Structure 1
Amino acid sequence: MGTNDTLFSINKTIYNKVVFDDYNSDPDGRFLFYNITIDMPSKIVSDGIWGNRDYGALISRATMPLLETQILCIFVITQCFHLVLRRLGFPYFVSQMMAGFVLGPSLKIEALRKFKMMLFPYGSEDVLNLVSGFGYALFLFLNGVKMDFSMITRTGKKAWTIALSSLMIPTFIGLFVCYSFMGQAQKALGEFDGGKLPVIVIGHSGCSFPVVASLLSDLEILNSELGRLALSAALVMDVISQVVRGLGTAVVSSLRLDSHDHAPGKGPKLATYTAIKFFIFIALTIVIARPAMRWIVRNTPEGRPVKKAYMYIVFLMTLCAGLLGVWANQTVLGGMLLFGLLVPEGPPLGSQLVKQFEMINSWFLLPIFVTCCAMKVDISTLKSGTLVLVVVSIIVCVHLVKMLLTVGICRYCNMPKTDGLCLALMLSCKGVVDYVTSIFLFDSMLMSNETVSMTAISVLVLGSIARIGVKSLYNPARKYAGYQKRNILSLKPNSELRVVACIQKPSHINSVKNALEIWCPTITNPLVVHVLHLMELVGRSSPIFISHRLQERVSHPSHINYSEDVIVAFDLFEHDNAGTTSVSTYTAISPPRFMHDDICYLALDKLASIILLPFHIRWGEDGGIESTDVNMRALNSKVLERAPCSVGILVNRGSSSSSMKQIAVIFLGGSDDREALCLAKRAIKDCDCNLVVYHLVSSQNEVANWDLMLDHERSLPPHFG
């Protein structure tokens, strides 16, 4: 057999353009009939060159080697594109789509045609699509797990107003324009393309929460003030869109079936019955799944991972939810997404599911699926200038209305113009979910090849513009500018000292308490402490910031007691220093690379004079290094770069048993040393404290240096009246 032999031997090919009814038309002639012969059972593993000298070395003669070669080729081309495009600021999914265009029919180069036929022979796409399709189903399930559905109840009026206005008004305007000119559009574009314009309007009016969360994570503004607002608005828009689309899919599919069977009297009855099944599907999934998963969480000891048997049960329940969705005239994806929303986010169950499946899904299965979807599109068929003009006009109109509404509402809420424009770009961003949805519509014969090509290009353009635009316009560090004079040295006499103390591990509690006690809080010089417990975000997309003083009045929706040990320890500290110290505790749950934003924002909001950070090295009792935390070191470096006030890093080498406080300051000179000396002088207001200052002076310094004069003045023995 020759090198062009494939898994399927083609005996005869018949091209037939089938004409269907209005709902099942075939505008591109995509129905191709092949008379083929297949070897059954198909060979999975190759015999190798020693097993069969004729064709044993051909990868196209066995399923597994062919699949591996296809995956390898996809990743090589994707990484080659990403190596160039990432330096220009393009997101990763753009490289995945470009790889699909190269391997698909879009790139018509005769030299590559034979290579493509060998790499993707007839029928082999089914295996690749099955593997990657499971990856997309898992992607939706994990995004449902990471969504904090209860965040809708905590979303403020600003986010609700932006979400509803940005979703409803562009949809109504776009649909009104489409139906007003439907007759002219069908004459100019054809009956099929003209009738499917409302599908484009609905697809571009909404917003996908996973796409926005991924954009904010890539730009490292996930837990910024603007990022939290964008996440809240995107979640509201996505939930409303999913409910409306799910109900619309169930009803429209019933009407299509009724029209196909030519039984006009059954249409409304069948649509009503299907809508009832849709609500039964939602109610049944909630009633069964939520109590079962709460039982799993209750039976998992605190701090321990979920048992593997429970993980298997949850995964089987996910597949059953997908089958139940098919019964309700939904897709398997809709059932799995709904089940993912019902999984309790965060530890132990949500975080365990994300840890188990996130890596293989995000970096292996999903990129393959996006490339396979791009291989279905043939952008070289874009030859109708009228269609391109109409589709581009509708997309620009919808997004222009959405952006103007978002910017207008932000200006009404006294937000800066730049922030309003960045928020509008975030809510107009398109990504993997939007692109795959258009491919599903294309597979369902609801879009022509030209229309889905325009949609694919619009996703590329909008996703790239949003990422590049927000990255160039929004700088979360700019709000800290102008506050660099807030330090201990500039405090007025007998004023309160405001401190933000950060805690990451239980071992930090005692060391922070000891440091605060040294600073001698009195009635005339009170101490205001804001304790921030930093926790890693696992198993959810939305960061959390909790004020535990507010939590005493309004309980947390998920009824999880965060930072209980920290709260108890510093409540006792406040009680022991009653009248001189005020303590507030907070919990920030976010990814380690974004924690510095929570720290700096709290220091800015509470007018803190100093931020206290734990050191990244921990020593043992024998003096040796016990552990080193690289993430903590990176966090401290970022806080030092952006902090709006002074920063102190607490190095704990053990506690002293002596009642006398011994403090030593090595004074080399400069603003940092003057700040440290000022803090030390505050501590010696206590009679039980002894301060020793070692002032190291170079003999080569010039006397006229202004910094030297300040250093000499500050290093003199203090006098208190």
Structure 2
Amino acid sequence: MAAEGTLNQTKICLTLPPKIQSSGLWKGLALGGKLDWFSFGLPRLELFIAIIFVITHFSHSILKRSGLPMFISQLITGLLLSPAVIGKTTADKMFTEEVVQVLTTLGSFGYAFFFFLIGVKTNPGMVTKVAKRAFFIGLLAVTIPLLSAIMIPHLFTLKDQDKIELLFLSPPYAMTAFPVIYCLLSELKILNSELGRIALSSAIVSDLLGLFFAVSTTLLRVALQKDIRTAMYDLVYVIAFISFLFLVLRPGIKYVITYIPEGQPVNQIFISIILLCFLMCLSLTRWFGDFFLLGVYVFGLAIPDGPPLGSDLVDKTETMVKNLLLPIFVTTCGMRIETLLIRFDDHFTSLNALTAAVALLVKFLVCLLPPLYCKMPNYDAVALALIMSCKGFVEMAIFSFLFDSKIIDEQTYCFMFYIVIYTASVVPAMVKLLYDPSRKYAGYQNRSIMAAKPNTELEIVACIHVPDNVSAVINLLDVAFPSQDNLMSVNVLHLVKLSGQASPIFISHQKKKKDLANHSYSENVIISFTKFQGIYWGALSVNTFTAVSPPNLMHDDICTLALDKLASLIILPFHRRWYIDGSIESEDEIIRTLNSRVLEKSPCSVGILIDRGNIRRPVVDPLSEPEYNVGVIFLGGPDDREVLSFAKRIAPNTRVNLSVLHFTAEKSDDCDSEEWEKTIDNVSLRDIKTNGYINYMQYAVKDGPETTMIIRSVISEYNLMIVGRRENLDSKQTSGLKEWTEFPELGVLGDLLVSMDVGRCSVLVVQQQQTS
């Protein structure tokens, strides 16, 4: 017993060795259920993680139909497991102190790791390159709401302690966190849209400014709670730490990267060293108290984004962090809720609510006015203001830290929780309603080869994924025969998967020559097309671009470039590639999905190029006979007429034998609309029949199998076949073939030609601009 007058003593019971891993369920059953595996640490942790994920995914399967992100499901899961819902007694029995500590530790580690990866993806140099509009939006989005929030407490009679507490609560209401905006734009799939790029640029400015205010506020709190000397020491430590990272570590990492061979993965030892440095950084910055998250974020910023190091680091760790550790953190934030009702009769709570409402309203207005002043469409401006006003897991983490540090009570924390869950629910739904990036691709003007005037420059967008696409596209353009009477402008777009970077990049290599050295992955593309331009100097102009973006959003880069350049044709590589012997080399379903999206949204005509290895350049001796044979299959309809228009541009090429194979139905009962289409087809064929450069052949067939038989008999004579896609067009010439189609994006005939191994003829499938 403690002596009288001494401090109270506390008895602590420890189980040694600690009960971590049970002997298993089967042994417990063999012992008649006497082995309580639930009393062991690891099985209990696994059970609760499983419960969290089951509830999260079940709720998300329901909420995602309303357009709500996974983040909301994770918060709701935490709320359902909180003492406010299941009761404090039940929560204490289920989530013992040991379980809560382990879950919180895992969640905090996951959040710190995610913050680190966001830093790795972010290029701090973006701040110096943002447009003036985005810079002012980002600047105003933080400063004006923060000043408004700070002024509110001074308009009312409050205790000095309450004023200081509201001062610490103001930055989260006013801040715009770059990770939150990045995740929101990714969820909405508008990351590389025009609105998405403006929002990202504005967010990086707001984020760095918000970090400055957060550090300032933290130093002020340290000065008030401890003393000024401690705050100054913390400031010196932070400055020294950041200086070391950017003046010593970052240059050192860049130097090491120069020794990594191009295209080769980073050595695993180097990745392990970076992760070890992350753990050391997390431990060191813990000494600074409130600055540990700032430390890992800045450490991530110090690592060069993109390939090779940033990409490898993100690819190897992001899945575990994003799908396991971070959801645990978000859920534990919800599990802190102790009351569902907020009592606004309390003066401080009501004033806090007023501060939050004023800050969010002012933030929305100051983010709305600059876009409207710059003549942005009203709906787009409102969508941008909503995006910049959104709250997410970064703010939730700040509120959780304030709650754990006893700076705010459960009422204030509950109110903040509702603020986050409300904005994170409403903003995505509203933005989806207001902003549709494909709306600008509507076909108000004819952008097709057929609509292009004769002897005018034909604008083409050619897409490149892999080196093999370069030779295939160049050879096709060579067949198309640029000349003074057939001028061409080719906009080459090299599509690169976004990896290890947060912001999509779109580079014009005409405006920024220095990018050739900085982005070597496009160097071969630029050199190859520059040489090709020299062959047809005066008849062909080439502009090269590089788009680094997520694969599911690349269609927006393609369609935007085609829209900006007033292109008449987009050339897309097929997703399947073959060896020279005809066997399949590779298939990329991501490219196939991309092609389908471009076909659906394109502002002009689209051609899918299937290279079977023999689209070689038709360079032969001028005195010899042409050896390159191109066949055009014509059945009728808009797509086939577009093919004829392209064939007319090929016809003057004396190095190419061009043939048009016209398949007609033996018997037809045409309605009025079909008669009109047939009349237009005949007008298009009139020039073909009288053109001395084109061999015209007509075949009367009764059904699809007969068409297939004729094509199979002649396909070996051609190096390239050009056909129309003819989507949703039924005709007797193709009857019975649709059921066997493997690739609907190629149409019936395109799919038929790809499936034929005879002659391994390359194919170009053309779809005319969709104007409806």
- Identify the match of residue 543 of structure 2 among 576, 579, 584: 584
Listed as ranges, the matches of 1:86-485 within 5 Å are 86-108=64-86, 113-114=89-90, 116-181=91-156, 183-184=157-158, 186=159, 195-258=164-227, 267=228, 269-380=229-340, 382-386=342-346, 389-483=350-444, 485=446
Tell me the residue number matched to 2:20: 44
Say which SS state the counterpart of residue 549 (structure 1) adopts: coil
Alpha-carbon shift at residue 252 of structure 1 (Å) = 2.7
- 1:662 maps to 2:619: no
Cα separation, 2, equivalents of 1:150 and 1:613: 33
Amino acid at match of 1:567: I
Tell me the residue number matched to 1:80: 58
Cα separation, 2, equivalents of 1:326 and 1:122: 22
Tell me the residue number matched to 1:538: 499
Alpha-carbon shift at residue 277 of structure 1 (Å) = 2.5
Alpha-carbon shift at residue 245 of structure 1 (Å) = 1.4
CA contact (8 A) 1:204 1:395 kept: yes
Alpha-carbon shift at residue 108 of structure 1 (Å) = 4.3
Deviates more, 1:514-523 or 1:492-501: 514-523
Say which SS state the counterpart of residue 171 (structure 2) adopts: helix
- Identify the match of residue 504 of structure 1 among 421, 440, 465: 465
Alpha-carbon shift at residue 701 of structure 1 (Å) = 4.3
Alpha-carbon shift at residue 210 of structure 1 (Å) = 0.9
Cα separation, 2, equivalents of 1:117 and 1:248: 35
Residues 279-300 of structure 1: per-residue CA shift (max 9 Å, x gap): 1121122233212321331222
Cα separation, 1, equivalents of 2:14 and 2:341: 32
Deviates more, 1:393-402 or 1:136-145: 393-402
Cα separation, 2, equivalents of 1:709 and 1:285: 72
- 1:66 maps to 2:44: yes
Task: Label 1:103 to 1:192 Cα distance change in 2 as closer, same or farther (>3 A).
Answer: farther
Residues 558-595 of structure 1: per-residue CA shift (max 9 Å, x gap): 93333000000000001111111000111001111000
Amino acid at match of 1:529: V
CA contact (8 A) 1:136 1:366 kept: yes
Amino acid at match of 2:599: L
Task: Label 1:257 to 1:515 Cα distance change in 2 as closer, same or farther (>3 A).
Answer: same
Alpha-carbon shift at residue 353 of structure 1 (Å) = 0.9
CA contact (8 A) 2:631 2:659 kept: yes
- 1:642 maps to 2:601: yes
Alpha-carbon shift at residue 48 of structure 1 (Å) = 4.4
Amino acid at match of 2:546: T
Amino acid at match of 1:297: I
Alpha-carbon shift at residue 99 of structure 1 (Å) = 1.2
Tell me the residue number matched to 2:533: 574
- 1:677 maps to 2:672: no
Cα separation, 2, equivalents of 1:411 and 1:250: 37
Deviates more, 1:47-56 or 1:626-635: 47-56
Cα separation, 2, equivalents of 1:702 and 1:256: 89
Amino acid at match of 2:461: V
- 1:706 maps to 2:683: no
Q: Percent identity?
A: 39
Cα separation, 2, equivalents of 1:230 and 1:679: 40
Residues 40-99 of structure 1: per-residue CA shift (max 9 Å, x gap): 332111244647948753233211111111111111111221121111111111111111
- Identify the match of residue 584 of structure 2 among 613, 625, 638: 625
Deviates more, 1:49-58 or 1:644-653: 49-58
Gaps (5+ residues) in structure 1? 1-32, 259-266
Cα separation, 2, equivalents of 1:443 and 1:34: 23
CA contact (8 A) 1:511 1:652 kept: yes
Cα separation, 1, equivalents of 2:200 and 2:129: 12
Cα separation, 2, equivalents of 1:180 and 1:118: 46
CA contact (8 A) 1:105 1:375 kept: yes
CA contact (8 A) 1:253 1:329 kept: no
Task: Label 1:347 to 1:518 Cα distance change in 2 as closer, same or farther (>3 A).
Answer: same
CA contact (8 A) 1:528 1:582 kept: yes
CA contact (8 A) 1:223 1:590 kept: yes
Residues 592-650 of structure 1: per-residue CA shift (max 9 Å, x gap): 10000000000000110000001111122222322211111100000001100000111
Cα separation, 2, equivalents of 1:512 and 1:697: 31
Alpha-carbon shift at residue 315 of structure 1 (Å) = 1.3
Cα separation, 2, equivalents of 1:405 and 1:34: 56
Residues 24-54 of structure 1: per-residue CA shift (max 9 Å, x gap): xxxxxxxxx9854231332111244647948
Deviates more, 1:154-163 or 1:379-388: 379-388
RMSD: 2.2
Q: TM-score, normalised by structure 1?
A: 0.89
Amino acid at match of 1:93: F
Amino acid at match of 1:679: F
CA contact (8 A) 2:486 2:649 kept: no
Q: TM-score, normalised by structure 2?
A: 0.83
Amino acid at match of 1:248: T
Deviates more, 1:311-320 or 1:390-399: 390-399
Task: Label 1:273 to 1:600 Cα distance change in 2 as closer, same or farther (>3 A).
Answer: same
Tell me the residue number matched to 2:486: 525
Tell me the residue number matched to 1:26: none
CA contact (8 A) 1:55 1:61 kept: no
Amino acid at match of 1:70: F
Amino acid at match of 1:628: E
Amino acid at match of 1:322: L
Cα separation, 2, equivalents of 1:71 and 1:668: 60
Gaps (5+ residues) in structure 2? 1-8, 621-625, 693-772
- 1:607 maps to 2:575: no
Residues 310-337 of structure 1: per-residue CA shift (max 9 Å, x gap): 1111112222223343344543222111
Say which SS state the counterpart of residue 13 (structure 2) adopts: strand
Alpha-carbon shift at residue 195 of structure 1 (Å) = 4.3
- 1:563 maps to 2:522: yes
Task: Label 1:34 to 1:98 Cα distance change in 2 as closer, same or farther (>3 A).
Answer: farther
Cα separation, 1, equivalents of 2:274 and 2:87: 47
Deviates more, 1:470-479 or 1:394-403: 394-403
Tell me the residue number matched to 2:759: none
CA contact (8 A) 2:171 2:213 kept: no
Task: Label 1:664 to 1:47 Cα distance change in 2 as closer, same or farther (>3 A).
Answer: closer
Number of residue pairs aligned between Structure 1 and Structure 2: 669
Cα separation, 2, equivalents of 1:676 and 1:34: 88
CA contact (8 A) 1:281 1:328 kept: no
Residues 172-198 of structure 1: per-residue CA shift (max 9 Å, x gap): 1221122232x24x4xxxx76564223
Deviates more, 1:581-590 or 1:613-622: 613-622
Cα separation, 2, equivalents of 1:484 and 1:630: 32
Task: Label 1:656 to 1:222 Cα distance change in 2 as closer, same or farther (>3 A).
Answer: closer
Say which SS state the counterpart of residue 300 (structure 1) adopts: coil
Say which SS state the counterpart of residue 467 (structure 1) adopts: helix
Alpha-carbon shift at residue 666 of structure 1 (Å) = 0.7
Say which SS state the counterpart of residue 486 (structure 2) adopts: coil
Cα separation, 2, equivalents of 1:88 and 1:524: 55
Cα separation, 2, equivalents of 1:582 and 1:622: 35
